[in-house]
Amino acid sequence: DQQVKQNSPSLSVQEGRISILNCDYTNSMFDYFLWYKKYPAEGPTFLISISSIKDKNEDGRFTVFLNKSAKHLSLHIVPSQPGDSAVYFCAASIKGGSTLGRLYFGRGTQLTVWP
Amino acid sequence: DTAVSQTPKYLVTQMGNDKSIKCEQNLGHDTMYWYKQDSKKFLKIMFSYNNKELIINETVPNRFSPKSPDKAHLNLHINSLELGDSAVYFCASSQGLPKQFFGPGTRLTVL
């Protein structure tokens, strides 16, 4: 029962263009969302996050948009660079209670940025 | 300098053996986690410890036993290894916030 879904297993984008990675979730209790980036043979590294009280968060080339009514978030990378090629995981969490600290992950999207 | 470290990075073993994976964090975090990434690439939480106290215990076979000697260490011991235990295991830590810091992973292969 996947509560966080990344329906696109892969995305290929030309260098300099925008990359848009999508994520959907089913649990309306989620109130904090994160994106992680993972290179082969390494652990996931935190990229950017957004609280449910916001609809946008920006950090340099990376922007995350949250649409709570649609239970959808997206990560925009502008401009895309070859070093951005990695697997991107969307994750969600619920503050408090027995789920304290638990992150629910999507299965990831492989982004390839070609020159 | 490594914030969250795991040993070993690769582990190849026979079915039925017992093995341990060690995790250490030098971030001063109170909470540590174990995740399993299976062949379908899903990252699923297994355990979480806060200040050496178990707070999350997913539906994991009791052959898996976490041990936290202090808040900087969370080790994972696996008894009677099975083929289905082959996966990449990630340790992570956090301090108060949902943001977690992950180790490099341990690829376990059970033959």
Q: Which of B40, B45, B99 sits opposite A46 (nearest CB)?
A: B99
Chain A residues with CB-CB distance to B100 below 8 A = 46, 101, 103
A vs B, Cβ pairs < 8 A, gives 57
Condensed to tens digits (0 to 9), the pLDDT of residues B42-97 reads 899 999 988 888 887 887 899 999 999 998 999 999 999 999 999 999 999 998 77
Average pLDDT over residues B22-44: 92
H/E run at residue A11: strand A10-14
Give the model's pLDDT for residue A90: 97
Give the model's pLDDT for residue A75: 98
Is B98 in Cβ contact with A32 (below 8 Å)? yes
H/E run at residue B64: strand B64-70
Give the model's pLDDT for residue B1: 63
pLDDT above 60: residue B8? yes
Average pLDDT by stretches of 10, chain A with 115 residues: 92 98 95 95 95 96 97 98 97 73 91 96
Amino acid sitting at position B72: A
Is A32 in Cβ contact with B90 (below 8 Å)? no
Residues 6 or more apart whose CB falls under 8 angstroms from that of B83 comprise B15, B110
d(CA A67, CA B14): 48
- R_g over Cα of chain A: 14
